[in-house]
Amino acid sequence: MKKFLVPLALSFSLSAFADPQFNNITKKDVEDVSKEFGTNFAHTVVAAPETDGLWGVEVGVVGGQTASPKFSDVVDASGGDGKDFKNVYHAALAARAHFPLDLFVEASFLPEQEISDVKIKSNSFGVGWNVGGFLGLPLDLAVGYDHSTSDTKFHQDQDVSTSTPEADIKLKTKTGTIWVGASKTFVFVTPYVKVGKSTIDGDLDASAQIFNISGKTSQSVSKDGSYLAAGLNFQLAIVKLGAEFTQIMGVKRYSAKLSLDF
């Protein structure tokens, strides 16, 4: 199964990145880019907040894209070509399991990959309780918490024409989300929605001065705001397909899933 899932996960990421360029970066730039990357890599296994039966295990692959106009603008303002960065992409191996008492856990993982000279890796987890299933309500009503971490690293060459320094750059984001969600299964289709609050922490570090403050080579930011996810799961025998729309602090992400559900 893993031999099939790894190439499929990575196929979502082909051409995901070209060669970004950062120079004269402001704190607001770091906040904007961190929100876009934090949303892109925020935890998802594109699953309804439900528990069907006493036990269950699901394994598969997820992937998708996030609109990143601020990232594109920062690259443009730094003297690069921002048109290649209007979207950023995510992909991961994913797993989900539910247990007695209608508890469930989820996890996703992308080992470090180098794509167009940009190195990326991410991991995430989620935990939840299906209160509706536990109390025997006519729909699944759940509460949960998700957490994700991502690392994006690249090397930029010096550009004398734009005063851009040669530098090794690393952006690390952490995204935490508290949510409530509801879902209802109709034959083989399960629509769902989740709402809550997310916090995104971003750390941008460079080996040279890329910021607009003299002598500064790193910047840390933290933002919090609204979280919304809505999606559909389709199940045919043990094969499950899913599609999901997510919006965190105004940043929009689209994701899809292919999995086996036992």
pLDDT tens, position by position, 62-90: 999 999 999 999 999 888 888 888 999 99
Residue 15: the pLDDT is 43
Please give the Cα distance from 208 to 194 (Å, whole number). Answer: 41
Weakly modelled stretches of the chain, pLDDT under 70: 1-18
Q: How far apart are CA 213 and CA 34, in angstroms?
A: 19
> What are the residue ranges spanned by the domains of the chain?
2-261
The Cα–Cα gap between 159 and 163 comes to: 6
- Give the chain's end-to-end CA distance (angstroms, integer): 14
Q: Is 126 helix (H, G, I), strand (E, B) or coil?
A: strand
Give pLDDT, residue 18.
58
Position 197 scores a pLDDT of 98
* Distance between CA atoms of residues 100 and 10, nearest Å: 34
Whole-angstrom distance, CA of residue 185 vs CA of residue 48:
9
Look at residue 14 in the predicted model and tell me its pLDDT.
41
Nearest CA among 255, 203, 251 for reference residue 232: 255
In the chain, the amino acid numbered 242 is G
Q: Where are the beta strands (DSSP E) in the chain?
A: 56-67, 87-99, 103-115, 118-130, 140-156, 167-183, 189-206, 218-236, 239-248, 251-261
What the block records as the tokens of 171 is 């952006």
pLDDT at 84: 83
Which residues make beta-bridge pairs with 83?
Answer: none
Strand partners, 240: 235, 259
**Closest by CA position to 16, among listed 35, 47, 34, 41:** 41
Residue 139 three-state SS: coil
pLDDT at residue 19, as a whole number: 72
What angle do helix axes 27-40 and 69-77 make, rounded to 10 degrees? 140
Other residues' Cβ atoms within 10 Å of the Cβ of residue 262: 9
Q: What pLDDT is recorded for position 123?
A: 97
Sign (positive or negative) of CA dihedral 74, 80, 82, 84: negative
> Residue 33 corresponds to which tokens in the numbers above?
């880019």
The top-level CATH class assigned to 2-261 is: mainly beta
To which residue do tokens 């916090």 refer? 199
Distance of alpha carbon 29 from alpha carbon 70, whole angstroms: 8
Q: Are 118 and 20 in contact (CB under 8 A)?
A: yes
Closest CA relative to residue 175, chosen from 203, 205, 202, 154: 202
pLDDT value of residue 158: 87
